[in-house]
Structures are given as C-alpha cells and as structure tokens.
Structure 1
Amino acid sequence: MAADIAEQPAGFARLLEDGPAGAIAEVAAEVARRAPRSVLFVGRGTSDHAALYGAYLAEIRLGLPVASASPSAITLYGARPDLTGTLVIGVSQSGGSPDLAGVLNVARETGALTLAVTNNPSSPLAQAAELSIDVVAGHERAVAATKTYTAELLALLLLVEGIRAGDGRLPADERAALDKLPELAAEVLADRSAEELAQRYRFASSLVTTGRGYAYPTARETALKLMETSYLPALSFSGADLLHGPLAMTDPDVPVLAVVGDGPGGRSMRDVVTRLGERRADVVTIGAADVPGASARLAVPAVDERYSPLLDILPLQRLALALALARGEDPDAPRGLKKVTTTL
C-alpha cells in the first residue's frame, strides 16, 4: 500500500502525457459531438466515490442533470429504463464486476452512449462500453485502492473539462495548472504529519469524516479506507447532512476528519467546523489554511476547488496506512477482501 501511494505523483504525470491525455480528449470530443442530455454514473466502492466526484463535475461544469445508477434494478430486477440521450459512465479500477458490465450492456441496448473508465482496457466493462478510457495507473499491489482512485479522478476531470471545451482540448491556463499536480502531490506525500496523527487515534473506537461539494467524495473514500485497513467504524456525511441530526453524536471521544478547501464548499465547511467546536469535538481539518475550532490540520496546497480531491486524499491514505500499522493490522491483506470484488 505504501508503494502504491508513493507512485501517485508519477501516475498523474503519466496520465497527463500526450498519449493518454490525447486519448481522453478524443473521447471527450466524441461525447460533446453526441450532446447527451443527462449523465448516469455507475460504480462500486472506491470507484463509486470517484464517480461521485465525476457527478459533481458534470453537474456543475456541464450543467447536465446527473444521477447514480442502481445496478440491482437492472441486474436483479430486470429493469430496462429508456436511456436515450443519456451518457452512462461505468467507473471501475478492474472492470471485472459483472453487475457494472451488465448495466452498460443494457444501457447501450436502450439508447445510451456508454463509456468505461478503468485501469484494465481489456476488461468486460471496457468491452461492454462504446467508448473507453484507460487511466494508466499500472499494476496496483495492495487490496486497498489508492493510486487507481486518484487516476480515476484525474481522468474524469480531463474528460469533463474536455467535453466542456467541445473539442476535448483544455484551455492553456487550465492545462498549465494541471501540469503542476505531480509536483504538488509529491510535496504532500513528503509531509509526515499523517503518521503522527495515527498515533493519536490508535485507540479510537469510531470516527466521522465530512466534506461538502467536491470534497464530499474525499470524505467517503477516507471512511472506506479506514474501515477496510484498520477495521475502524467510520461514518461519512456531507457537511450539510452532518448538521441535520448526526451532529448530536459528536463529542471529544469521536474524532472528526473535515475536508475544508477553498471555494464555496470549503467556505461552507468552516461553519460546520465551528458547530463541531461548540460540541468540543476533536476535529482535524484537511486543507490549506487553519480553521477556527480545529485541533489539528493535515496541510495540502491551495488549488482550484476542482483539483483539491486529487491532493486532499493523499495524506488521508497515508493516515489509513499508518493507523492500520499502529493498531497491529496488515493493510496489505485486509481480512475477507480480494482485489476484485464480484457482485451480480
């Protein structure tokens, strides 16, 4: 897991190279040409969190209605929704789960434009889709996905911004900003604060993660990583949902990891941290600036809010790894889990 985490700066650089980025631009241009009226995402686990990030991008940047598919409606109950004019995007690091490929097969039959985003271009998911994007993350050693997750995020960012441009090509200033991501990611991974924080929460019995907007997928992915590597019960809420009830359970014994970046989502989260502070909750923020009410911070560089999820998750992956080791667990062999999970 440590080796996979460390490869992410190189993974960003590889995906931004002319070949992979150009292939995504071609897909984006074709999607723009077909002009879908809505977008439907489908994914499981970590890839579903990447899909959630893609959903925020598509709804905000493309102005299209976006939804998340329920695979069981199609694969278990035999539903055949009319998806004419819909772009259906399947996101899966392995591309091997039958239910995801089943959704894309039915979507294609019922009028959708289908697209697979995967780390395995020869997978059943990629074969089921009309269009395919290879996130070129390379072989991932650990069961817990790390580098494939951020590769999916970057691929979806390039896709959505390419669709928005119309011809798949990003404006020069945006491309220049993205080219800085590998260096920024390396800076984040050089910080050892996550290891120190792991010792602080070694004996925690539960934990809460929270974020809003583009940061919400980061909160959900963090909770999953903690659960699958440390077996630590972790509940994830959007900042808004946290205030609608779950806030009542927070206290000094329930650590809260709050992703607080720049932009509208980050500004809203500052109010959430204030409310948590009123309850004397032990709050750690992930972001570029100190936030009143927090007891500690995992620092990341200030970037455009759309790019933040690619950096914010890095120290949290390190935290999950370090916390598992501190609790005497083996994060490379989570009990009961395999690299490819098959669901029908």
Structure 2
Amino acid sequence: MAADIAEQPEGFARLLEPASTAAIAQVAAVIAERRPKHVVFTARGTSDHAALYAAYLTEIRLGLPAGLASPSTITVFGARPDLSQALVVGVSQSGGSPDLTEVLRVARSAGALTLAVTNAPDSPLTGVAELAIDVAAGHERAVAATKTYTAELLALLMLVEGIRAGDGAIPAEERAGLAALPELAAQTLADPAPEQLAARYRFADRMVTTGRGYAYPTAREAALKLMETSYLPALAFSGADLLHGPLAMTDPDVPVLAVVGGGAGGTSMREVLAKVGERGADLVVVGPAGVDGAAARLAVPEVDERYAPLLDILPVQRLALALALARGEDPDAPRGLHKVTSTL
C-alpha cells in the first residue's frame, strides 16, 4: 500500500503525457458530438466515489443531469430503463465485476452511448462498451485502492473538460493547471503529518468524515479507507446531511475528519464546522487553511476546487495506512477482502 501511494505523482504525469491526453481527447470529442441529454455512472466501492466526483463535474461544468445507477435494478430486478439519450459510464479499476458489465451491456442495447473507465483495457467492462479510457495507473499491489482511485479522478476530470471544450482538446490554461499536479502531489506526500496524527486515532471506536461538493466524494473515500484497513467504523456525510440529524452523535469521543477546500464547497462547510465545534467533537481538517477550533490539520496545496480531490485524498490514504499499522493490523491483507470483487 505504501508503494502504491508513493507512485501517484508518477501516475498523474503518465496520464498527462501526450499519448494519454490524445486518447482521452478523442473519447471526449465523440461524446461532445453525440450530445447526450444526461449522464449515468455505474461503479462499486472506491470507483463509486470517483464516479460521484465525476457526477459533480458533469452537472457543474457541463450542465447535464448526472447520477449514479443502482446496478441491482437491472441485474436483480430485470429493469430495462430508457437510456437511449444517455451517456452511461462504467468506472472500475479491474473492469471485472459482472453487474457493471451488465449495466453497460443493457444500456448499449437500449441505444445509450457507453464508456468504460478502467485500469484494465482488456477487461470485460471494456469489451462491452463503445468507448474506453485506460487510466494507466499500472499494477496495483495492495487490496485497498489508492493510485487507481486518483488516476480515475484525473482521467474523469480530463474527460469532462474535453467534452466542455467541444472538440475534446483541453484549453491551454487548463493544461497548465493540470501540469502542476504531479509536483503538488509529491509535495503533499512528503508531509509527515499523517503518520504523526495516527497516534491520535489509535484507540478511536468510530469516526465521522464530512465534506461538501467536490469534497464529499473524498469524505466517502476517506471513510472507506479507514474501515477497510483499520476496521475503524467510519460514517461519511455531506456537510448538509450531517446537520440533518447525524450531528447529534458527534461528541468529544467521536473524531470528525472534515475536508474543507478553498472554494464554494469549503465556504459552505463553515457553518457545519461551527456546529461540530459546539458539540465539542475532536475536529481534524483536510485542506489548504486552518479552521477555528480544529485540533489538527492535514495540509494540502490550494488549487482550483475541481482539482482538490486529487490532492486531498493523499494524506488520508497515508493516515489510513499509518493507523492500520498503529492498531496492529496488516493494511496489505485486509480480512475478508480481495482485489477483485464480483457482484450481481
């Protein structure tokens, strides 16, 4: 897991190379020409969080309705929704789960434009899709996904910006921002704070993670990483949902990990964090700036709010790794888990 985490700056650089950029631009141009009316993502586990990030991008940047499919409606209940005007995107590291493959097969038969985003270009998911993007993360050794997740995020970001451009080509100013990501990721991974923070949570019984907008998928992925490596029960909520009831369970014994960026989503979290502070909860912030009342911060560079999820998750991955080791667990062999999970 440590090796996979360390390879993420290299993974960003690889996706930003001309060959990968051109391949994603070609897919984006086809989608832009087809002009889908809405976008449906289908994914599981960590990839579900990448798909959620892409749904935010799609609605905010493209102005298209977007949502996440429930594969069981098709695979278990036999539903055949009208997807004839949709772009249906399957996001999966392995591309091997039968339910995602079936969703794309049914969608394509209904007339949808289908796209597979995977780290396995020869996978069954790629085989049933009309279009495909290889996130080019390389072999991921650990069961817990890290570098494939951030590669999916970057590939989906490049795809959406290419569609927005119309011809698939990412504008020059956008390319300049993306080009800085490998170095920013390396800087973020060099910070020793996650390992130092692990001792704080060693004996925690449960945790809450939260964020809004682009940060919400990061909060969900943070909870998953903590659960699958340290077996620490972690509940993820959007900042807005946290105020609708779950806030009541926060107290000094329930740590809160909040992803707070510098954009609109981060600004909207201020009221949420004030309420968390009133509850006396142990608050740790992931973000480019401190928050009043926070006990600690996992620092990340300040970037465009769309880019932040690619960096925000990096210290959390390292925290999950360090916490698992501090609790005497083996993060490379989580109990009951396998690299490829097949569901229907």
> Shorter-chain TM-score category?
over 0.9
Match for 2:184: what amino acid?
A: L
Is residue 37 of structure 1 aligned with residue 37 of structure 2? Answer: yes
Alignment correspondent of 2:340: 340
Is residue 308 of structure 1 aligned with residue 308 of structure 2? Answer: yes
Residue range with higher mean Cα deviation, 156-165 or 274-283: 274-283
User: Residues of 2 paired with 1:57 and 1:286: CA distance?
Assistant: 21
Residue aligned with 2:280, SS:
coil
Alignment of 1:156-235 (within 5 A): 156-235=156-235
Match for 1:158: what amino acid?
A: M
Post-superposition Cα deviations, 1:271-298, rounded to whole Å, max 9, x if no partner, equal 2111111111100000011111211100
How many residues align? The count is 344
User: Residues of 1 paired with 2:64 and 2:177: CA distance?
Assistant: 25
Match for 1:234: what amino acid?
A: A
Is residue 321 of structure 1 aligned with residue 311 of structure 2? Answer: no
Alignment correspondent of 1:266: 266
Residue aligned with 1:143, SS:
coil
Alignment correspondent of 2:155: 155
Match for 1:124: what amino acid?
A: P
Post-superposition Cα deviations, 1:30-74, rounded to whole Å, max 9, x if no partner, equal 000000000000000000000000000001000001111110010
* Unmatched runs of 5 consecutive residues or more in structure 2: none
Post-superposition Cα deviations, 1:188-214, rounded to whole Å, max 9, x if no partner, equal 000010001101110000000000000
Residue range with higher mean Cα deviation, 287-296 or 229-238: 287-296
Alignment of 1:238-317 (within 5 A): 238-317=238-317
User: Residues of 2 paired with 1:340 and 1:62: CA distance?
Assistant: 32
Post-superposition Cα deviations, 1:210-242, rounded to whole Å, max 9, x if no partner, equal 000000000000000000000000000000000
Alignment of 1:23-172 (within 5 A): 23-172=23-172
Post-superposition Cα deviations, 1:295-332, rounded to whole Å, max 9, x if no partner, equal 11000000000000000000000000000000000000
User: Residues of 1 paired with 2:311 and 2:68: CA distance?
Assistant: 24
CA RMSD of aligned residues (A): 0.5
User: Residues of 1 paired with 2:200 and 2:215: CA distance?
Assistant: 24
Match for 2:259: what amino acid?
A: V
User: Residues of 1 paired with 2:312 and 2:244: CA distance?
Assistant: 25
Residue aligned with 2:214, SS:
helix
Post-superposition Cα deviations, 1:245-293, rounded to whole Å, max 9, x if no partner, equal 0001000110000000011100011221111111111000000111112
User: Residues of 2 paired with 1:279 and 1:208: CA distance?
Assistant: 13
Runs (4+) of structure 1 exceeding 6 A deviation are none
User: Residues of 2 paired with 1:14 and 1:259: CA distance?
Assistant: 27
Match for 1:301: what amino acid?
A: P
Is residue 13 of structure 1 aligned with residue 13 of structure 2? Answer: yes
User: Residues of 1 paired with 2:289 and 2:237: CA distance?
Assistant: 22
User: Residues of 2 paired with 1:77 and 1:272: CA distance?
Assistant: 39
Residue aligned with 2:77, SS:
coil
TM normalised by structure 2 equals 1.00
Residue aligned with 2:226, SS:
helix
User: Residues of 1 paired with 2:13 and 2:51: CA distance?
Assistant: 21
User: Residues of 1 paired with 2:277 and 2:21: CA distance?
Assistant: 43
Post-superposition Cα deviations, 1:80-110, rounded to whole Å, max 9, x if no partner, equal 1111110000000000000000000000001
* Unmatched runs of 5 consecutive residues or more in structure 1: none
Aligned partners of 1:276 and 1:293 also within 8 Å: no
Match for 1:210: what amino acid?
A: T
Percent identity reads 77
TM normalised by structure 1 equals 1.00
Residue aligned with 1:36, SS:
coil
Match for 1:131: what amino acid?
A: L
C-alpha deviation, 1:77, in angstroms: 1.0
Residue aligned with 1:273, SS:
helix
Match for 2:106: what amino acid?
A: V
